[in-house]
């Protein structure tokens, strides 16, 4: 086989490997840049207090929500209550409506059923933010 044929095979083989690899690397870089400052609503939620209601025996979570969103909106937070063995014993939902940017709101979430254990753990299971400000749309 001639020398130029070997060079062509090496170059084409290298391109077959390097071009897709370069595309994958570029894709990963661009996705990282696009999501660099991404935030999640659950980042704005903290469990301020978690206890069992002494009268009803139901788990209670007091939430503190400090909005870092770009707009005013409503936070809907689902809390999972866990028993001593970190097994889910119930869930509840708390809502903080019309929270301004940078403002802090509170919500109390109460479990649906009484829990027989001595202590409970409260975890933010899910948090959803919905803007309450109107969005301007362009009309054609």
Mean pLDDT of 80-109: 93
Q: Report CA-CA distances (Å) from 67 to 4, 27, 39, 62, 133.
A: 65, 32, 11, 16, 14
- pLDDT at residue 95 is higher than 90: yes
Structure-model confidence comparison of residues 31 and 18, the more confident one:
18
Q: Mean pLDDT over residues 103-123, rounded?
A: 92
pLDDT at 76 over 90: yes
Is residue 119 within 8 Å of 106, Cβ to Cβ? no
**117 pLDDT above the threshold of 90:** no
- pLDDT tens for 21-33 read 888 888 877 777 6
């Amino acid at each position: 086989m001639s020398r130029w044929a070997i060079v062509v095979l090496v170059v084409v083989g290298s391109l077959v490997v390097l071009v897709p690899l370069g595309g994958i690397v570029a894709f990963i870089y661009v996705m990282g840049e696009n999501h660099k400052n991404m935030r999640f609503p659950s980042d704005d939620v903290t469990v301020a207090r978690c206890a069992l209601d002494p009268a009803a025996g139901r788990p209670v979570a007091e939430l503190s929500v400090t909005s870092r969103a770009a707009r005013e909106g409503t936070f809907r937070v689902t809390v999972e209550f866990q028993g001593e063995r970190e097994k889910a014993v119930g869930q509840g939902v708390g809502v903080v409506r019309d929270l301004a940017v940078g403002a802090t709101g509170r919500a109390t979430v109460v479990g649906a059923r009484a829990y027989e254990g001595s202590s409970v753990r409260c975890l933010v299971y899910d948090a959803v933010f919905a803007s309450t400000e109107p969005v301007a749309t362009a009309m054609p």
